[in-house]
Amino acid sequence: MKIRKATLQDLEALTELHLTKWFEGKEKTPLIRALIKEELLDSINRKRVMVAVNEKGNIVHASNFELVSELNDETMSQPVSAKNPRFYYVQTWVGDSPANKNAPMFKPIKELFNAHLDNAKKNGFESIAVAASNQKHLKAYKALGFKEMGNCFLKLEKRI
């Protein structure tokens, strides 16, 4: 497993991954595909997307980050850049996984979080923050070592 920043060549694969993981069972209209592609393109251009690539060179997981001044419901749905950011906010997908940090499906997620944490610390942040949208996600993040911050937000201060 290799972790790297996404490039423009990854755009199509990331779009498909995003549609598969975030829109499972939902209609994938051309408009939704175009909106996702546009959002991903913006994040890739700003070098804010990290990908986990398997031995075959396929992207198996991805996440992006934003530097935000506060954590709230708006942060969860659409992070905004801030001039004086206080939080390194990571958006990823943990799925409805069992809360077992040793499960094989958690390997790319753990490596991505470690890469984000290293990047955050290199840029002066003490931790990374995530949002749990439901109890299963909350349980999965806690299993990975995240600590609750209040509301639906959690932080990670040490490598997994």
Residue ranges of the domains in the chain?
A: 2-156
Contacts of residues 80-85 at CB distance under 8 Å and 24 or more positions apart, as own/partner, are: none
28-32, 49-53, 63-67, 122-126, range with the lowest pLDDT: 28-32
Q: From 3.20.20.140, 3.30.450.40, 3.90.1580.10, 3.40.630.30, which CATH number describes the 2-156 domain?
A: 3.40.630.30
Q: Mean pLDDT, to the nearest integer, of 11-26?
A: 80
CA 99 to chain CA centroid, Å, is 17
Whether 104 shows a pLDDT value over 70: the answer reads no
Count CB neighbours of 9 within 10 A: 8
pLDDT at 110 (0 to 100)? 87
pTM: 0.82
Query: What gap in Å lies between CA 156 and CA 66, rounded to an integer?
Result: 15
Cα separations (Å) of 39 from 5, 80, 147?
A: 16, 13, 29
Q: Name the residue type at position 69.
A: S
pLDDT at 69 (0 to 100)? 84
Q: Which helix (H) or strand (E) holds 62?
A: strand 59-68
